Structure formats: structure tokens, C-alpha cells
Structure 1
């Protein structure tokens, strides 16, 4: 794909993000878009956000669990960039007025104490480089019409990043079995789903190692202090004004989030 078209599509996504609206899927246009093209579009989209004052604070892995893959019809993981504008701090309240068509997913976040440079990163390397893990919610949000995405669409759209909320419970990954640790998700006080860490590429640690190696081949390191979202362990949860979600990870603790306002769609 010509650079001019990559720039045009990245700018289109940025404008849709600013205006809280959706656009036609790129894969439904006569573009013959490849996965490599999609990542270049993502870079252009995110360059616009960074130029507007946001800073990189981490990375995310998407489409890692079977329920999310089945829902989206996308069957391979992807990645996106987390910025300073995406973290919800304080009272863990997400204002839906700033989002388009959000859905929540529960997962584990890894906060790094050391740099990680792939390729060649192992699961043990990830554990050694991690300061702590926390339960979290990622509120994914798509700039693509009706979530009608293929892998190229979600990659271009920065892996459908929206916002995220970190829990207060911090755990040492050396002392937790992140593969077998159970996760219980409740919506408005009622049981919504259960899962284990193995739902994410066999272990959330494996997912983080995969991303470190994938980005390493592109010359992009993990930096100390960065947040790495390891991928959903739950189904995608539709949310609206007044909803409350809580996920609890066995041996670690909980993360809760409340929603107010009304999304664009």
C-alpha cells in the first residue's frame, strides 16, 4: 500500500476518534490491505495522538481468548499502544460519554520493573522483569462500524483500545500460579462468567512473552514502568450507564469499575 494511503487511513481513524464516530471497515473497501499495512496505519493513527500530547505508558495484547475470538471472528492475537489518556484513575468510574461503542473485558496487567527486549524473551524472563501484576478491566472501543472487524481492521484501530482501569491488589508473579488462578467476573452483583489464566494463550505470562518478542523483532522494547495488558480472560461485556463490574482473581484480589453517561452508539 502506498504511504499516502496509509497516512490517509490513519488520519481517518484519528478524526473518527476525535469526533466519537465510526467508519466503514477497511476490509470492506477495495484496498487489498495486508496485516503489515494495518500496523503502519496504526502507527500513523497513534502518531497523531502522541503529537496531540499523549505519552506512551505501555502496550496491550488483544484477541487472545476463545470467547473474544469467537465474538469478533478474529483468530490471532494483535497488539496496540497504551497512552496516558487511556488510564482511568481515582474512583474507577468510566465516563461513557467519551467512548463510541465500548465493551469491557477482565484481565491481568503486568507492571514492569525492568526493560524487556525481544526476540528471545521467555516466560521466566517476563516474571523476572515484572514488578507486580494486578487485576484490571480494559474497556475496548472500536472506531469501526458495528464492530464488523477483521484482523486488519482492529490492528489499524490500535487493537480497539479504549480505556483501562487497574485494580489496587498487587501480586508478585513469582508467588502466584497465573495459569491456574481462577477469575470470577460479576456484573451488577450477579455472576457473569468464570475463567482461568490458561484461557490466554496457555498463560498470561506466555502472552506477554509473545508480545515482547513480536515487538522486539520490530525494534520496539518493553520499558521499565510500562503497563502490559495481557489479554481478556472473559467474554466481552456490554456496558451502559449505572453498570458495575467486579473481577476477582484467586490469590490476588479484585478490580471494580462503574460506568456513567452514554456512549455514542
Structure 2
């Protein structure tokens, strides 16, 4: 794929985000699109957000890490995206009116105290570089119509990023068995789902190591101070304004969100 095609498709996704509209799957229109093409499209889409919207990168996210999410989306390989300041909201009222087809997921977020640069990063390296972990709701969204995605579509779409919220409560990861930490999620006052840290590649530490090593091959580091979202512990749940969702992750923290227009 040439640079002109990359910029055209990246611009299309950016304009879709601004207009709250969807586009046909890229994989239907460009059958030979590769993962590398998709990441190049994603980076152009991100560059437009940084340049035109004056957003700044605050972290990175891993997507499609658990069997539940992979089966739901029909995508069977992890991907990654970039988080910006415009995506982050506080506990409480969270506006989702600017999103197109949002779905909520519960995850464990990491805050780094030192840089990680792959390849060769281990789970021990991740633990040593982690300042704290927090409960997180990520509200994923897709600019691809009807979530009809293959891995190249979600990669190009910045890993289907929407918005996210991390808890004010922080925990020391070295005091926890992150693979065994259980999240319980509630929607509109009723129990919805639960899952353990082991749902994401066996451990959230392994998920972050994968991210560090994958990005390292592209010359990108996980920087000190960044937020990292390690992947959903539970199936994705569609939401609309008026929904209320809460969760607790054992030993880590809780969140209560009211979704508003």
C-alpha cells in the first residue's frame, strides 16, 4: 500500500470519528491490506488527532486479548492503540454521545514508573517498571460499520479506541497475584459478568510484556508515567446514554460510571 492510500484511509477514519459516522470495512475494500498497512493507517489517523485536535498521547492500550472478546468480535490476535488526553474521563458522569457504537469493558490499568523498551521484556521486567495498577473501564468504539471487523480493520482504527476511565484508587502490583484478581461488573444495578486477570494472555503482566515487545519492534517504547490498558477481563457490553455501570476488581479498586449524552 502506498503512502497516498495510507493517508486517504487514515483521514477517512479521522473524519468518521469527528462526524460520528461509520465506514465500510477496510478489508472489504482493500482485500490485500496487511497488518503493517493497518498500523501505518493507524499512525496517520493518530497524527491527525495530535495535529488537528491538539491531543497528546498519555498511554497505550492492548485490545482483543481475551478469549471472550476474541470470540465476540471474530478477531483472534491482540492489537494495540494509542491513548490520548481527549479519551480520558473521571469517575462519575462519562459523555458517550460523541461515540458511534460504544461497548464497555473492565480491565486492569498500569502506570509505569520507568520506561520499557522491547524486545526481550519479561513479566518480571513489567512488574519492576510498574508504579501502580488501577481498575479501568474502557469504552471501546468502532468507526467500522456494525463492528464488522477483521484484525486489519481494528488495527487501522487505533484498536477501536473510544474513551476510558481509571479509578482514583491505586494498588501496588507487587502485593497482588494479578492473574487471580477477579473483576465483577454490574449494569443498571444488576450483575452482568465477571472475569479474572488470567483472561488476558494468562496474566496482565504478560499482556503488557507483549505490548512492550511488539512496540519495541517498531521502535516505540512504553514511557515512564504512561497509562497502559492491559485488555478486557470480561465480554464487551453495548451501552447507551442513561446506562449506569460499576465494577470492583479484588485488591485493586472500583468504579461507578453514569453514561450521559
2:75 is the alignment partner of 1:74: yes
Q: Distance in 1 between matches of 2:144 and 2:196?
A: 30
**Equivalent position of 1:9 in the other structure:** 9
Deviation of the 1:92 alpha carbon: 2.9
The correspondence of residues 83-94 of structure 1 with structure 2, limited to 5 A, is 83-89=84-90, 91-94=91-94
Q: C-alpha distance in 1, partners of 2:213/2:143?
A: 28
Structure 1: unaligned runs, 5 residues or longer: none
The answer for the alignment partner of 1:212 in structure 2 is 212
Q: TM-score, normalised by structure 1?
A: 0.96
Secondary structure at the residue paired with 2:97? helix
2:135 aligned residue: 135
Taking structure 2 as the reference length, the TM-score comes to 0.98
Aligned to 2:186: 186
Separation in structure 1 between the aligned mates of residue 68 and residue 202 of structure 2, nearest angstrom: 14
| Conservation of the 8 A alpha-carbon contact between 2:97 and 2:241 | no
- 1:233 is matched with 233
4+ residue segments displaced more than 4 Å: none
For residues 1-265 of structure 1, what are the structure 2 equivalents within 5 Å?
1-52=1-52, 53-89=54-90, 91-261=91-261
SS at 2:259 equivalent = strand
Alpha carbons of 1:172 and 1:24: their partners in 2 closer, same or farther (altered >3 Å)? same
Unpaired segments ≥5 residues, structure 2: none
1:200-233 per-position Cα deviation (integer Å, ceiling 9, x unaligned) = 0000110000000110111100111100000000
Deviations 1:75-129 (A, max 9, x none): 010000001110002x432212111110000000001111111111110111111
Q: Alpha carbon RMSD of aligned pairs, Å?
A: 0.9
Residues 50-59 or 26-35, more deviating? 26-35
Q: CA deviation at 1:3?
A: 1.2
CA distance in 2 between partners of 1:58 and 1:162 (Å): 13
